[in-house]
Structures are given as structure tokens and as C-alpha cells.
Amino acid sequence: EPEVTQTPSHQVTQMGQEVILRCVPISNHLYFYWYRQILGQKVEFLVSFYNNEISEKSEIFDDQFSVERPDGSNFTLKIRSTKLEDSAMYFCASSPFGLAGGAQYFGPGTRLTVL
Amino acid sequence: EDKVVQSPLSLVVHEGDTVTLNCSYEVTNFRSLLWYKQEKKAPTFLFMLTSSGIEKKSGRLSSILDKKELFSILNITATQTGDSAIYLCAAVETSGSRLTFGEGTQLTVNP
């Protein structure tokens, strides 16, 4: 069964450093998402992406964050200058449909630790 | 602001018990409600409910949506230790694609 994959599984970085989290969505899906889950808290939406542009973003997704689909398979989340409060599990998800309401399928996550 | 509330937050049962997990929502322009199971890491999709009163079923799991009372329930019959997980519900609006998640229900099934 096709699945969303994410690399790395765990990333440790120093405050102020840039990190890039990578995701390979399910191959025939058209809509891509990033969510995060701070330890002990709810899963929170960050951004959705369709047709090579951001379709929706949350208040969390400020200028420090960016997303890109550099080729036909990868989808990346970049955090330009990490802060301690960026420490969280970051989930990538993909969906065959967006506004039509298809279910979103999640990857295993990248645990980001900012020291 | 959209809001999803789950109850109970934690539940401990014995194998063979039946459990009911609750999810209520306040979402502007509600479209669908989704249930996920989260074990070690990734939330795994279980059900998506869009229409009121139509039960969705998969093995021992079933779910139903009540759009008048703004809630959904997830039932698990004859629970097994492998059902131990966090169960998440999430709502989505018609005007967007973001999922708004509840806090989750931590289910522990003891042998």
C-alpha cells in the first residue's frame, strides 16, 4: 500500500540554524500538507500546497517557514532560523483531493529538537 | 475559531470491552469529520464522515456523525490490546483543507 515517507526521522539542531524537512507524498496525490505536534499538545495545521503554490496557511506559518516542491516527488518544509519553540514532531500529509474533501494520509513524522 | 473537543481524554479498559469515544465540533461551514488512530507516530486514517446518520464500519470499528448535534462517536467492539492508541478526530471546513484536531483520547486496552 502506498504511503507518505519522511526524512529524517529525528533532527537535532542548534537555535538559529536552518533545517529542511523532507517528505515524499503518495505518488498520485495532488494536495500536500504540513502539520506539527508539540509534545503533549494537539496536532496543528501549518500549511497546504497545491499546484506549486500555498493554498492555505495558519498563523504559525510565518516568514521563518517556507515550503517547496523541488521536483515531481519531494515536498519540503524549511525553517530558516530555528527557535526553541519549534521543537515538535512535524508531519507531512497528502491527499488526492483538497477542497473536494479527500482524506489526508500522514507520514511517520520528523522529530525536530532545537537546542 | 474552529474547535474540536474529544472525550474522554483517557480510557482504560479490559480486552473484550466495548468503548465509545466522543468528538464534538464547532466549525464554521463544516464539511467532514475524520477519525485517525495514532500509535507510535503517524496518525493512521480510519474514517471520513460527511453525511449525518450514516454509519461507517470497518471490522470492529464503526463511526457515525450527527450534524444537528455537532458530534461524532467512534465505537470499538471486542477491544484487543492492539487497539491501544490515541484516537484523534479532526474537522474540515468547506472553504479550506486544513484539519482542526481535537486533543485525542488515549485508549489503553489491558489483557
Task: Name the strand (E) or helix (H) holding B63.
Answer: strand B61-66
- Name chain A contacts of B98, Cβ cutoff 8 Å: 33, 45, 48, 56, 58
pLDDT at A99 over 60: no
Q: 3-state SS of chain A?
A: CCCCEEECCEEEECCCCCEEEEEECCCCCCEEEEEEECCCCCEEEEEEEECCEEEEECCCCCCCEEEECCCCCCEEEEECCCCHHHCEEEEEEEECCCCCCCCCEECCCEEEEEC
Residue B33 contacts A where some CB pair is shorter than 8 Å: no
C-alpha cell at B76: 470499538
Say if the Cβ atoms of A56 and B96 lie within 8 Å.
yes
- Mean of pLDDT values over B58-62: 96
Mean pLDDT for chain B?
A: 93
- Choose from A4, A99, A111 for mutation: most chain B CBs within 10 A: A99
> What percent of chain B is modeled with pLDDT above 90?
78
> What span, in angstroms and rounded, lies between the C-alpha atoms of B58 and B69?
24
Residue B2's pLDDT band, with cuts at 50, 70 and 90, is confident
pLDDT computed for residue B85 by the predictor: 97
Of A43, A99, A109, the CB nearest to B88: A43
Q: Which of B32, B42, B99 sits opposite A107 (nearest CB)?
A: B42
Write the residue in A43, A91, A103 that is nearest to B45 by C-beta: A103
